[in-house]
Chains A and B, each alone.
Chain A
């Protein structure tokens, strides 16, 4: 399988990355080379093999759903680029590429 420049553009949009023309070109070449390298896995028949999702199998870990307020709300808010009162502030939300 190969990936072309159009697809690289599409993927960059999905990943919310603004990429330059030069990056578009470089990523197309590099991703194809990595995907080509990945193709060696087709040598292995995995039809009846179960996937390993994590290194050590653990069953669902649950805990009581109890609220523990974070002790230092001020510090949390201070870490944000912009805040207003108890809120994180962001620029206008305008959908420019999806509709």
Chain B
């Protein structure tokens, strides 16, 4: 099991205790050992990983100083384009797609000298909450191989938890970073909408999608965000803001007078009692560390789920219209153009993707727009208002990341609505564009991890890192590792 933090590895490289090639080889060997069980990766890029590592070692040998991320093994969700490396979105329709360009995030990380070890599994086109919707393989939860890792970034979460990489990138449209982080006992951050460029991220629901880091510690999360945040000319939704050094907010003590709000509505029906108790304990700990804790009501929070499925499906139906077998992807040979479209899309898309395309097409079709898409957008405004009111009162909101711990594979695949419910706590955050982080806060009786979600106001990642790090330093959860 491989479990170093970025700073530890960086120090070892500088001290020449280990070389970047040794680290890469060790990680690749570990991947070989555990992958048959975990199945987190869709492709492992061993050769290019070793080449990158060699370059880092050459730099060190010649006495040059190296950046904090140089030589650090990274996994990338397979919905981010990597030039020359297959990018499938876990969909049969893109089974053969090799991008001719690099996404902004991976370019930034390449420039920073990270060692890409592979592309991780996901629910097809990031649509799902268990990674069971992958068109290629089902990823297992490293804590219990019979259970799902969560989704849609389940491969990245499982890879980090299993020590198959140090950090990973995921994308989060309705909870796809935070929910799998919770299920796999790692740290998962969804930054403010627009903080990280989405150029090269295969679009699912454009008004919600955001890229963010997975890591085993809050510090690693801050270091990775430092490297990927920032304005990008190629993404018109990216924000023109100054990016601070996020590691400066990592302090051992909680800031005096920090106000924490518990979202009352998240502790209602449908929440597992062990999750409720564990999260309450975490909140009590924050209080004992000096936080002022109060209950905050977000009465429209619960409407997030239906609003999300309408908005996300509508935007997905438009975004996925581009898969027409003309410019890229797999083609189903047919007599004429129309049949080529309909046959390719029939065999190339999986059931959940088709379901959302159908729902979205229906919602956007003539006569229904006002009743569905527009109504959803209006309720979205009300949900945002609840958050605005809350942040007039407190600095950070807390709630469980998911209503339960990881469920068994196959348990929810027949009932889309029950699967959707696992994103109940994370979805409203995307609708409002806010940043949210999930950190480990305990385990249930079967040893499955439980996640605490912290939510802050727009562009207040500093608050998230501050509180998450202080909590982490006061606990030992992040030090526990699964036995695979």
Contact = CB atoms under 8 A, between A and B. Distances in A.
Nearest to A47: B378
Contacts of B142: none
Contacts of A51: 374, 377-378, 380-381
Task: Give the one of A34, A80, A96 with max B CB within 10 A.
Answer: A34
Q: Which 3 A-B pairs have the closest CB atoms?
A: A55-B433, A51-B377, A75-B100
A38 B480 CA distance: 40
A76 B337 contact: no
Interface string A1-31: 1010001100110111111000100010011
Nearest to B313: A34
Nearest to B325: A81
Interface in B87-111: 97-101
12 contacts: A11-B361, A14-B365, A18-B343, A27-B358, A34-B309, A37-B417, A41-B307, A49-B381, A54-B207, A54-B237, A55-B194, A55-B434
A79 interface: yes
Interface residues of B, number: 74
Interface stretch (B36-44, B123-131, B328-336): B328-336
Contacts of A58: 194, 236-237, 239
- Interface SS of B by simple majority: helix
A40 B324 CA distance: 35
A3 B328 contact: no
Interface of A: 1, 3, 7-8, 11-12, 14-19, 23, 27, 30-31, 33-34, 37-38, 40-41, 44, 46, 49-56, 58, 61, 63, 70, 72, 75-76, 78-82, 88, 90-97
A80 B331 CA distance: 9
Interface of B: 97-101, 192-194, 207-208, 233, 236-237, 239, 300, 303, 305-307, 309-310, 317, 321, 324-331, 333-343, 345-346, 349, 354-355, 357-359, 361-362, 365, 368, 371-372, 374-382, 384, 416-417, 430-434, 458
Nearest to A17: B345
A17 to B, nearest CB: 5
Given A41-B376, A82-B331, A17 B346 contact: yes
A18 B345 contact: yes
A63 to B, nearest CB: 7
Contact of A96 (B300, B306, B336): B336
Contacts, number: 172
B378 A92 contact: no
A68 to B, nearest CB: 11
Contacts of A40: 303, 306
A17 B354 contact: yes
B317 A37 contact: no
Nearest to B299: A44
Contact of B380 (A27, A52, A70, A82): A52
Contacts of B307: 41
Contacts of A97: 338
A80 to B, nearest CB: 5
Given A18-B343, A70-B101, A92-B336, 14 more contacts: A7-B362, A14-B361, A17-B354, A27-B358, A30-B416, A33-B416, A51-B377, A56-B239, A56-B433, A72-B100, A81-B326, A81-B329, A91-B335, A94-B337
B432 to A, nearest CB: 6
Contact of B317 (A1, A15, A38, A90): A15
A9 B355 CA distance: 13
Q: Is the interface of A mostly helix, strand, loop or mixed?
A: loop
Contacts of A8: 358
Question: Which of A7, A14, A63 has the largest number of chain B CB atoms within 10 A?
Answer: A14
Most buried by A among B237, B325, B357, B359: B359
A95 B338 contact: yes
A61 B430 CA distance: 22
Contact of B381 (A12, A19, A52): A52
A44 B336 contact: no
B387 to A, nearest CB: 11
A38 B372 contact: yes
B284 to A, nearest CB: 32
A19 B354 CA distance: 9
Contacts of B372: 38
B342 A18 contact: yes
Contacts of B371: 1
A12 to B, nearest CB: 7
Contacts of A38: 306, 309-310, 372, 376
Nearest to B347: A18
Contacts of A12: 358
Contacts of B384: 52
Contacts of B354: 17, 19, 23, 27
Contacts of B432: 55
B237 A31 contact: no
A61 B417 contact: no
Contacts of B324: 16
A75 B333 CA distance: 22
A79 B381 CA distance: 41
Nearest to B235: A61
A5 to B, nearest CB: 12
A96 B343 CA distance: 14
